[in-house]
Amino acid sequence: MQILPTIHSPADLKALAPSALPQLAAEVRKAICDQCMTSGGHLAPNLGVVELTIAMHYVFDFSRDRMLWDVGHQCYTHKLLTGRQALLGRLRQRDGMAGFPEPRESAYDLFSVGHAGTAISTAVGMARGDSLNGEGFDGTNPNGRRVVSLIGDASIVNGLAMEGLNSAGTLRRQFLVVLNDNGMSIAKPQGALASYFDRLRMSHGYAEFKKRAKDVAKLIPGGREMSELYHRMGDMSKAAISHDAWFEHFGIVAVGPIDGHDFNSLIEFFTEAKHFDRPMVLHVKTVKGKGFSFCESDPSATHSPGPFSVPDMESEGCRIELKKSSRSFTSAVGEALTDIMKRDAKVVACTAAMPDGTGISKVAAAFPERTWDTGICESHAMDMMAGLAKTGWKPFFAVYSTFMQRAFDQVFQEVALQGLPVRLLLDRAGLVGNDGAVHHGFCDISLLASLPNAVLMAAMDEPSLKAALEFMRKHDAGLSALRYPRDAVSDLFTKQDCPEFVVGKARALVEHASPDVAVLAYGVMAIESATALTSLDSEYRVNLYDARFAKPVDIQLLESLLSKNIPVVTVEDHSVRGGFGSCVLEACNERGLDTRLITRMGLPDQWIYQGERREQLVEAGIDATNIARTIRAVVQAAPKATRTTTPSKVRVS
């Protein structure tokens, strides 16, 4: 008899005998793997935390206690145990299960979480809030709420996680940090702390922990207080107290590492930690991709694959076969940047824990001495690039648009303010599809456009991407940034020559001598706009431009159009507030041009959740159909003197 279908809430889980939990874990793994094969998803991270998640729900009561997820892409088991099995069949799709914690789905999800390093700080806030409300668990309130945060070994090096630990050490109540140590993030963890965990995993066994525990408790920072805490701990925790634990410097008792796939150990440790009234870190060792050999042997490839198959799942060394997809912007960037580094020995590259997701893995393979992965440390990476620029190098920092936000202070202070030529490659700009609201790149223009002398660009296809990268290589006057989506490159205009990028100059794609309307599209929205034009047939004369630059915009082109009373429609897959269209309005206002002739299209002032990118474009109203509809409305509302019915000659460049 299957167990998983009978679990409608954690209360059903708690009714099971411990001996039934391994079967439940196997069923959960199969359900997750089967679904990811169909729809794609974060496979290996979720397979690695199945026992860990089941054990936490078995011991704690998260209908009352607090569970805070870091990053959150390992939450599938948690969702299956909290009443959302019916949503799994539409994983990361519209009206289905979000791939990250999502409070709209369930009260068991406290935050929408998609960025690393946040769990400890939000957990500290909830712990303090519960205590202020008289609801927190401590020595005087045994029925109070407990707080648990789960963070990965790669996320713990994030600066925010460090700040959270520093604050957590001042708490005088129960507070548990579960460190999920699988030796991986998306790629291999980077830095000295990752090396520390490697040494810790290899050095001390359970017996040695038990032998040293009592003496160590007297020696760690805090002296007598820590020794007193030692006596409050249960036998399991005493035995596994880490005698050289780095976390003790934060005033936090550290326990482990323990086996994150052994239910008996997990349940015993969580039961003791549940009643421990001071902050504790429980170091848990897990295997990313646990349960399927094709995942365990290649956890990077199976971190977040698209739909896939495994031809011979039972054999050793079997590999997944991803469904074929079109060439992506990310792949194009990796190859183009590799070519640039072959031609220019001063070019260096960096990523922050996303070597595959940004294409930098290709660059690193060719130029390991000039390429770095800093781990999940965007702020550090940005400042490191500033230091490289200051010493005469030409740094390219490839980072998701949504993660660049985490380093904006460094872009401002150490890059733009200093006038340093750091080059930002903003992957996943715009709507990202299945990852949803936590990962949309919707505010990079509004952030970066505020910086004096910044040059902001977007690529509409692979030739324009290469041209933009070449421009950036030569641009030494300050910060430059190039945005591109999580999407396939289009070949719609690749038969035409792609001119070089010149600061503040747009490219004409379709041009009439006397147009009824002009469309300035930023980045890939030029392709969407070109598709819209085909549905208009010869109804109107529409000029289409690849804007290329959001800062500075092509003010000469705009002045030429608006001075002739030609309406202008701007189109972008960025927030309409503070985006490319806003840059156009501001530039035209400064020139005294009639901005009433400008219509902006972009992401609306609302959250857009998981689904296919095409669905999200429709929801945002910036798909080809809606662009064509807007063009018609603009032309029909324009003064009749600007309209004719006979199309003039079209120039396509």
Q: CA torsion sign, 488 to 489 to 491 to 492?
A: positive
Nearest-angstrom CA–CA distance, 178 and 411: 32
Q: Could you tell me which residues come within 8 angstroms of residue 6 by beta carbon, excluding any fewer than 6 positions away?
A: 12
DSSP string, 6-21: G-SSHHHHHTS-GGGH
Amino acid at 557: L
CB of 197 closer than 8 Å to CB of 203: no
Name which of 151, 149, 100 is nearest 124 in CA terms. 149
State how far the Cα of 22 lies from the Cα of 262, in Å rounded to an integer: 9
Residue 1: count other Cβ atoms within 10 Å of its Cβ.
Answer: 5
Structure tokens at 397: 């920092």
**DSSP bridge pairs for 549:** 457
Q: Which residues, other chains included, contact 257 with Cβ-Cβ below 8 Å and sequence gap of 6+?
A: 181, 200, 201, 242, 283, 284, 285
SS3 477: coil
Task: Spot the catalytic one: 92, 370, 406, 486.
Answer: 406
Q: In what order do the strands lie in the sheet with 253-259?
A: 66-69, 147-152, 175-181, 279-285, 253-259
Catalytic (active site) residue 288: yes
Mark whether 314 is an active-site residue.
Answer: no
483 is catalytic: no
190 touches 374 (CB < 8 A) = yes
Count CB atoms within 10 A of the CB of residue 301. 18
Listing DSSP states for 613-632 in one string gives HHHHHHHHT-SHHHHHHHHH
E strand map for 465-555? 480-483, 507-512, 517-521, 542-546, 549-551
Phi, psi of 320 (to 5 degrees): -80, 155
Which residue is catalytic, options 288, 394, 428, 551? 288
Give which of 598, 602, 582, 604 is closest to 637, Cα–Cα. 598
- Residue 571's φ and ψ, nearest 5 degrees, are -130, 130
Q: Which two tokens stand for residue 78?
A: 């948690």
Task: Please state, in angstroms and rounded to a whole number, the distance separating the CA atoms of residues 497 and 489.
Answer: 16
Of 102, 248, 378, 572, the catalytic one is 378
* Cα 583 from Cα 640, distance rounded (Å): 28
Instruction: Say which residue the tokens 């798909």 belong to.
Output: 623
What does the alpha-carbon distance between residue 251 and residue 139 come to, in Å, rounded to a whole number?
A: 18
Q: What residues are annotated to the active site?
A: 288, 378, 406
